[in-house]
Amino acid sequence: MELPMDKASPRSTPLSLPAGAAPAVAHQTPASLPLGPPAAASTKPLVASANPPLLPVMAPAAAPKSSSGAVEESKDAVEESNKSNVLTIGSIRSALIKQEDTIIFGLLERSQFCYNPDTYDPNASRIVGFNGSQIEFMVQQTEKMHAMMGRYKSPDEHPFFPENLLEAVVPSVEYENVLHPAAANININKRIWDVYFDDLLPRLVMEGSDGNCGSSACWDMLILQALSKRIHYGKFVAEAKFQGSPDTYTPAIINKDSDKLMDLLTFTKVEEDVRARVMSKVMTFGQVVSPEADPAIETKLKIEPELAVELYDKWIMPLTKEVQVQYLLKRLD
Ligand SMILES: O=C(O)C(=O)C[C@]1(C(=O)O)C=C[C@@H](O)C=C1
């Protein structure tokens, strides 16, 4: 996407994929603008009823095979018990898998452009009547408009600038929220914002300016929204785990034992699968396809797969777990 105010062409400096590395995942088109619940949701996401909620109801993902220990047994119990619930851990994991595509496509798109520091410099924005950077302006104004369309009434949506929202102008949708009411106060978007701009973005793009500040801000915003949605899905993951095995989680919740909760909700094998799948998706979606290229020799990649894997490993999964802990600590209030 190039905006009218943007100037230069996007860069094309692909990275290489080892010869013979086989694409493992079918291409899927990312959601354009993650406004409101995903396709399956219709107007009533997240309902604990016979109607399918936002989270498509599917067979749970393969359970991690635990060899020993009460903690591992209780994790198996969560997954077994969840098979009979609408809010299943398997259906939530399926939603997380789809969201990977949106995040990865966003990274691929943003990587076309240079860093473009003016996008983030409040002194460079020169927007009349606004004291802030271009990215702040874009996210704040977009959120205002999306709030008018009711976006942040949905329990799976979280604004970055909650203090600036406008009232909804569309008829309100009744969400049969499966979450504990305390979920409404959990919003870690400030952390997500900092991680994205401090740690991820400088490593994703080339230094310097290419004039495409508007496009850079657009993709930044889409990635931020996708990251926020994915990470705050931790609330639903935690609820499904709690519903699947309340006796397992209750003592740690009562004792406010965050470390124990973190231990209980961590599934090492699932995390390994996430890493492997993200690697595979970047190697598939990120290929530069050109008629001249000989696939037997090398395939070009738009971003380093390891960077996306690291994003998941260091930030997305830990922050999703952090949301889960915050939610569970309040689950019995
Ligand atoms: O699938 C789960 O059980 C989750 O809690 C989600 C998630 C993730 O962020 O992908 C986080 C923690 C688990 O250790 C595994 C995966």
Please give the backbone phi and psi of residue 199, each rounded to the nearest 5 degrees, phi first: -105, -40
Strand bridging mode 15-17 / 287-288: unpaired
Other beta carbons within 10 angstroms of residue 51's beta carbon come to 12
The amino acid at 205? V
Q: pTM here?
A: 0.81
In this predicted complex, what is the ipTM? Answer: 0.99
Q: 17 forms bridges with which residues in the sheet?
A: 299
Nearest Cα to Cα of residue 328 among 222, 243, 271:
243
Q: Which tokens is 106 given?
A: 């966003």
**CB 320 near ligand 1, within 6 Å:** yes
CB within 8 A of 81, min separation 6: which ones? 243, 244, 245
The amino acid at 188? I
For residue 59, what is the DSSP state?
P
What does each of the 333 residues of the chain score in pLDDT, given as a tens digit? Answer: 455 556 655 554 445 544 444 433 333 333 333 333 333 333 333 322 223 334 332 233 333 333 446 666 666 666 655 555 568 999 999 999 999 999 999 999 999 999 999 999 999 999 999 999 999 999 999 999 999 999 999 999 999 999 999 999 999 888 878 999 999 999 999 999 999 999 999 999 999 999 999 999 999 999 999 999 999 999 999 999 999 999 999 999 999 999 999 999 999 999 999 999 999 999 999 998 877 767 677 778 999 999 999 999 999 999 999 999 999 999 999
CA of 137 to the centre of ligand 1 (A): 33
Angle ∠(228,233,236) on CA atoms, nearest 5: 160
Q: Yes or no: say if 166 and 148 are a contact pair by the CB < 8 Å rule.
A: yes
CA of 323 to the centre of ligand 1 (A): 11
Q: At what angle do helices 234-244 and 70-82 cross, to 10 degrees?
A: 100
CB within 8 A of 197, min separation 6: which ones? 120, 220
Q: Yes or no: say if 78 and 248 are a contact pair by the CB < 8 Å rule.
A: yes
Where are the chain's structural domains? 70-330
Domain 70-330, architecture per CATH? Orthogonal Bundle (1.10)
Q: Which of 66, 192, 274 to mutate to test the pocket of ligand 1 (most atoms within 8 A of CB)?
A: 274
Angle ∠(135,313,143) on CA atoms, nearest 5: 25
Rounded Cα distance, 182 and 190, in Å? 19
CA of 94 to the centre of ligand 1 (A): 11
Rounded Cα distance, 234 and 320, in Å? 5
Q: Which tokens is 231 given?
A: 């990470």
**CB 267 near ligand 1, within 6 Å:** yes
Q: Which of 66, 80, 237, 261 to mutate to test the pocket of ligand 1 (most atoms within 8 A of CB)?
A: 237
Q: 287 forms bridges with which residues in the sheet?
A: 301
Q: Where are the beta strands (DSSP E) in the chain?
A: 15-17, 287-288, 299-301
